[in-house]
Amino acid sequence: MTHELSPDDAAFRDEIRAFVAAHLPSDIAERLLNGGAIAADDIRRWQAILHQHGLGAIHWPAAFGGRDASPLRQYLFELECAMAGAPPQLAFGVRMLAPVLMRFGTRAQQAQFLPGIVAGTDWWCQGYSEPGAGSDLASLRTSAVRDGDHYVVNGQKCWNTLGQHADWMFCLVRTDTESKPQRGISMLLIDMKSPGITVRPTQLLDGTREVNDIFFDNVRVPVSQRVGEENDGWTIAKFLLVHERTNIAGVPWSKRDYARLVQIARHATRRGAPLLDDPDFRHRLARLEIDLEILEYTNLRMLSVAKPDPTTPSLLKIRGSEIRQAISALTMEALGAEALRLHAPQPTDALPESTYTTGVTASYLNLRKLSIYGGSNEIQRNIVSQIAIGL
Amino acid sequence: MNFDITDEQRLLIDAVSRCLAEEASFTARQAVVRAHGWSPSVWSTLCDLGVPVAVFADTDGGLGGGAMELALIAQIGAAALAVEPITSVLIAHSVLARSAPAPLRQRWLERLRDTPAVLVPAFASTEATVRAEVDGAATVLNGRAAVVYHAPCADHLLVAAASAGAARADSLYLVPVNAAGLALQSYTTVDAQRAADLVLDGVRVGADDTVTTHDPASVDLAIDLGLLAVSAEALGSAERAVALTLEYLKTRQQFGGPIGRFQALQHRAVTCLARLEDLRTLVLLGAARFDGPTEARRTTLAALKVVAAETARHIGEEAVQLHGGMGVTEEMEISHHFRRLIATSIRYGARDEHLRAYAEARFATAQG
């Protein structure tokens, strides 16, 4: 057993670290490391840079232009990017849809869509949840009715992330209302410029526009843009979830947030004394650091075995979301009243430190989503229980 | 990066598990606890398997194991609720392997070849409860040591003492249990193990039996070996407690079906599984970092005991609760694991003590 990286993996990490140091635009890094918001254009710019240097989708097979990176290397890549202040890659394309197209898509679909995904020129979004189908996704009702070479789609999707920027959506629709819920679902690739699509933002509690309601009114989608067989969409959706697991614990983002928490805690004072001299605070920080280190190594254990225990991804999702939320809560508390500025003013000579208060509370509010989306933590507990107890 | 154990480690722990399953089943263990407190015959079989020398170097006639072997054996011993001095001996032997002068180490190994001699540590902290004074060529030990696990099973004790003027224990000595001036008051602990309180009144130790003096780092190392071993015990016992609990949820019938179909109970069981996974990771990390840089070893071991103590308490209490009334009966194995878990949560220092040490090592400021 060794908890150290192999020389090859260490060399890979060093290569990525040097690449990011040389190529990540400094305006993006500075803003993100100081808690500033991620703009859609940051994600596009960074993906284009990665793509130019053959790093647009390192986990893809070489046949599709990737580097066959192991799950461990994919993690190391994400960690290096996150710690340096890079925006995340848009998961919907490179991590979620791409593996589905490689496994279930036609050659024509692969040729049409994969290049735009890796280059970052096509922005993809996901059409899964509906007002009546959240945790119970299989009860979705957005319908697709065959009409010659097209499907005619009607219905509503919600909690659609960043669809306001999207060129394309992969969407689960009901193509059979007779059989049991899981059987009658298909996956369609829908051009967001199609007539009949309305995107309506959902205002969130942190003031951001991150999710949308999407309405489909007789939207015509060519049958050639169906992925896999008709009514096989549930199988494909489950395959996609399995492939989303590499980053399920969110370790890179928690490590970045934690580094910022420590930085804030080292600056903060209470009644003239450093906050770190307060034993209660110090112990809470210590306990959180221990949890984060455990999360990191539990995640590495999962990534370094060929076939992880089937309960591990769900347990990591639960712990990963709890820990990142706890980091954001302690960061807010470390700032005290400073945290109440929802959108901090620009730094001035009089208030040079105000940059580090940017977005702390907004982030705390925003991150409530972690234990809700992607299968809520209660759903994850049901999944683990189903495997461990089986009742 | 590879978190698998080696084939040699697998063979060793399989042999130990088999021995404990065959000779120290829960029923057999209960009879032993009632009769003698521990089983010299189980110990003798474990000696035949090489368990006590697992942590000595091959060149010394040991199995060449280290911190990982210590943790693995402690873990399966606790899973079987073993009352034999497995963990105590392995801690003491690990100290000898790492800190004792070669002649002392070889003399002890020779003794082991002839008899199943038992050496256990008589300390679980660096507190200066025993003082060492030089008297000519000998050293004289005076003081007390409380709750020394397996002292009643032992032939020799590894005593930690503070040298003249030292504020903490900084020296280690080998003391036979029949030494003049040494008194043992023996009893059974809450987790059914044999233990004793010691009084040392002018116990004389020769240079031959001096492991190390004026050497706080070796005492710290000995404590860290104890932290790793007792945390691995918490893991082994907690794993077994969770397995028993999941089985109980599947089989206990109420309201016309197994109680495991109730979501309130399912989610509590899943929280136990999550905490178990946390502890598993940290035991592996503690063993993996043991022989690396001292600072990383010390903080990782402190973190490990924090998590082991919390997890032992949490899983012990949850396992009892999910067993309902049966959880508090002497008859059920779960109540014995509960007691073992509570003991491991406290031994070598409880949670807060180690969290404080961790926090100070990581975050102490200039002022603080």
pLDDT recorded at residue B22: 96
pLDDT recorded at residue B368: 47
The whole-angstrom distance between A290's CA and the closest CA on chain B is 6
pLDDT band at residue B114 under the 50/70/90 scheme: confident
Same domain (yes/no): A270, A360: yes
Same domain (yes/no): A157, A275: no
Same domain (yes/no): A204, A308: no
- Beta carbons of A290 and B281 less than 8 Å apart: no
Residue A71, domain CATH:
1.10.540.10
Residues of A in contact with B248 (CB under 8 A): none
pLDDT recorded at residue A25: 98
- Residues 297-326 on A with a CB inside 8 Å of B are 297-298, 300-301, 304-305, 311-312, 315, 318-319
Residue A133, domain CATH:
2.40.110.10
A135 contacts chain B (CB < 8 A): no
B130 has a pLDDT exceeding 90: yes
Same domain (yes/no): A281, A379: yes
- Beta carbons of B246 and A389 less than 8 Å apart: yes
The whole-angstrom distance between B107's CA and the closest CA on chain A is 32
Task: Give how many domains chain A has, as a whole number.
Answer: 3
Same domain (yes/no): A253, A226: no
In a domain, A253, yes or no: yes
Smallest CA–CA distance from A9 into chain B, residue: B1
Counting runs of H as helices and runs of E as strands, what totals does chain A give?
Answer: 13, 10
Kindly indicate whether the ipTM for this predicted assembly is greater than 0.85, answering yes or no.
yes
pLDDT recorded at residue A181: 86
Catalytic residue among A15, A210, A230, A244: A244
pLDDT recorded at residue A60: 96
- Beta carbons of B359 and A391 less than 8 Å apart: no
- Give the separation between CA A313 and CA A377, rounded to whole angstroms: 12
pLDDT recorded at residue A355: 55
In a domain, A179, yes or no: yes
Residues contacting residue B163 through CB under 8 Å, at least 6 positions apart: B132, B170, B171, B213, B214
Same domain (yes/no): A209, A150: yes
B325 has a pLDDT exceeding 60: yes
Same domain (yes/no): A256, A193: no
In a domain, A102, yes or no: no
pLDDT recorded at residue A349: 54
pLDDT recorded at residue B2: 87
In a domain, A242, yes or no: no
**Percent of the residues in chain B that have a pLDDT greater than 70, as a whole number:** 99
- Residues 139-158 on A with a CB inside 8 Å of B are none
Stretch B118-131: mean pLDDT? 98
- Beta carbons of A298 and B278 less than 8 Å apart: yes
Same domain (yes/no): A302, A364: yes
Same domain (yes/no): A227, A252: no
pLDDT recorded at residue B367: 59
Report pTM.
Answer: 0.95
Same domain (yes/no): A184, A268: no
Domain residue limits at A155 = 124-231
Please, what is the average pLDDT of chain B?
A: 96
What's at A282, amino acid-wise? Answer: R
Same domain (yes/no): A302, A328: yes
Successive 10-residue mean pLDDT values, chain A, 391 residues:
92 98 96 89 97 97 94 96 97 95 97 97 97 93 97 98 97 94 95 98 92 98 98 92 80 96 90 92 98 97 89 95 98 89 60 63 94 94 95 85
Which residue in the set B5, B249, B362 is minimally distant from A1, CB to CB?
Answer: B5
In a domain, A201, yes or no: yes
CB A257 within 8 A of CB A295: no
- Residues 289-328 on B with a CB inside 8 Å of A are 289, 303, 306-307
- Give the separation between CA B308 and CA B2, rounded to whole angstroms: 23
Q: What DSSP designation does B137 have?
A: T
Q: What DSSP designation does B85 have?
A: S
B97 has a pLDDT exceeding 80: yes
In a domain, A211, yes or no: yes
B96 has a pLDDT exceeding 90: yes
pLDDT band at residue B260 under the 50/70/90 scheme: very high
CA-wise closest residue to A23 among A67, A62, A109, A81: A81
Same domain (yes/no): A153, A282: no
Which residue in the set A2, A274, A276 is minimally distant from B288, CB to CB?
Answer: A2
Q: Which of A281, A282, A382 to mutate to test the interface with B (most CBs of B within 10 A)?
A: A282
Residues of B in contact with A319 (CB under 8 A): 274, 277-278
Which alpha helices (DSSP H) does chain A contain, by range? 7-23, 26-33, 40-52, 71-84, 91, 98-104, 107-119, 233-243, 251-267, 279-303, 312-335, 360-366, 377-388
Specify whether A244 is catalytic: yes
In a domain, A100, yes or no: no
pLDDT recorded at residue B298: 97
| Contact pairs from chain A to chain B, CB under 8 Å | 127
Domains of chain B: 7-117 (1.10.540.10), 120-214 (2.40.110.10), 217-363 (1.20.140.10)
In a domain, A193, yes or no: yes
